[in-house]
Structure 1
Amino acid sequence: MTKTAPRRSRARPVQDPSQDTALPAGKATINDIARLTGVSKKTVSRVINDSPLVHPETREKILALMKQLGYTPDPQARGLAFRRSFLIGMIYDNPTAQYIVNMQYGALDALRDSGYELVVHPCDSTQEDYIDSVRRFALQQKLHGVILIPRVSEDEQLAAALREIGVRYVRIASIPLDAGPQMVVTQDRQAGTEAANYLESLGHRTLGLITGPRRYRSTIERGGGFVEGLNERGVELPADYTYEGGYTFESGVAGAEYLLAKSPRPTAIFACNDEMAAGVYKAAMRRGLSIPGDLSVVGYDDSPLASQLWPALTTIHLPIRDLGRQAAQMLLSDEPAPDEAATSAPRLVTPQLVVRDSSQRPKG
């Protein structure tokens, strides 16, 4: 019986990355990278994950080919290799589109070149199953961490659900609600007081207030700070000179219509965000009132809308983009030990008044 000589395995030579790369830009897979460089998929994975178990020459050729083909590793695939995710989630229930966009830009600023990606999850916190929806999202995406934006950041049940499944989070809110390393605090009450001090210093004694929804903590803090600031300066804001809006343009129009029908008519209105302040402009125009001649207006957020209105809006500047950046940076840093977290102070952001052309002393 004739014996067959055993086959000898031979190492495959690493191919020249400049050859046989007729693939559409950005369409290559990890299998293509392995095939074109003549190495195993596992070797390519090691290069992607910065493993030291790859010969330098092989590493360089694989990296060169990845760059040539525009190959970007799938964050979820990297997460499987590291047994953790390279995805940061952003959870929000906020009617103001520009606020959310600016927050996302800030988070992306922090994540750039970090290897992490941002995924967003809008939700409706008025729905009974919204916490279950967020929990499923966090588990399915295997999130490294979550940024919680007002108003969902104020929900203790949601925070407890994330702790239960072991997902890190950072909350952005008007007041401290959690341990320091998990909080970015915007100090809205202080800003509301600053708006009150400014308008009263101009001589306004009859004022109106348009708040957000009562279930938002920012409503309590911004509106409460405004009322307290007036009281400290000897000015009372009657309850019927406050209108509960919805942080939308339409609710700003409705709120201003309600307030401007009062007698005596307010000489100034503080709206708790810029979109509602823009609504005040429309209501004033309908009544033939000039801004700031007949009515001074102050908003909140200092969104791009504030400088686009005419006259330009006096408003409270809240560095929204910086809030998103700081929250993302906190998730990228190492998680502190429990005893250290308990004694750490939250990050504080101080809003500031920006005086433009929509405010002046009242007539007479």
Structure 2
Amino acid sequence: MKKLLIAVLFAMMLALSAWSVSAGIGAANHDPVVTLNRDVANCDESLDDYEYVVSVSNNMDNGYGIYNVKIYKGSAGIYQVSCGDAPAGWTCFDGDSDGTCDLKYNLYCEYETTPAGPNVIRYGDAPVDFSFDISLVDEAAVAADCGTDFRITTLDDEGIASPGEGVEVETMERLNVDCADPYIEKKLIGEAIPLTSCALESQNSIDGTCDWWITQATEIDFSAQDTTKADQCNLGVDYCEWRYYWDGELVEDNPYCEGTQEADGWCRLTNGGSLDWALQFGEDSEHDIEVRCVDKAGNWASLTEKDKVDNTPPTTEKWFNGPQKLVPTENGTVEYIDGVSTVEMSAQDGGDICAIGVDKTWYNIE
């Protein structure tokens, strides 16, 4: 029993040593700059089919440098980390002596170089890259936490007597995960009649959109945001782009573009985490609009609709059937008919493509 207790205490001491430094007293004599090469992902991407790289440099100009780097497993949903090869001039922890880098205490990858040696990371040196892979990922847990945090620690070689000593600095690097598609909403301000049966409140990328008859005065408003719920997973809209077809032909040079004109007629807008824009079509024609938006994690949504612009008034014709006499005068034509003659009229909506049709005809008899 006594031997078992000693073994347990020894294991606890080893575990604690992974989270502390043997002789780190006082302020750190290095300023680590740590970056993770992948900081955003979505749920359509595999988190473990990727090589992660931590780049480390030193931003303190005092002659000392970083000689030890540890990369800990992620905080949420990451159950296994495979350590990459040590950079040139560095060694790694190889627990089973098979020539590959292993997790130390099943907690972290440890890389080290000779203190005060030529490969210590000093001020002005190029960043040194340390790689790792992750596996056995609970992607649902990662998504629920909107990502996972990787803890990276660095040791400097100021005044140390042996490896393992020094002042340790901790840096947290986060892999953000956003799984929700952007949300696109569209509103019509002014005259609008649906081409098909649909509800006015269903003008968005989730419920779908309607096709419309509109006029040149009708304003078409679009807005996009990174989902309809405000939570920490939302990273914002990266960009939206839209284009349209005029009477079936793609408009390559979009005259209504208030953003950047891209190839294939796309107008790109990138002016914020949420985007809003509006347009009015100044010609009677059939317009097919395509909109697509992408958030900063690569999720996307789209919206399409057809707008027929009819700004041409109907024309009305009138004639008599029966005895009649038309007398031109300075003030117009005076028309005479008898009691058996009939007055007949016909109204027709103008426009070759987008004529919606005559709604009502009024006449007055005095």
TM range (shorter): under 0.3
Greater per-residue helix proportion: 1
Query: What is the TM-score with the length of structure 1 in the denominator?
Result: 0.23
Structure with larger RCO (C-alpha < 8 A, sep 6+): 1
Larger radius of gyration: 2
Query: What is the TM-score with the length of structure 2 in the denominator?
Result: 0.23
Greater per-residue strand proportion: 2
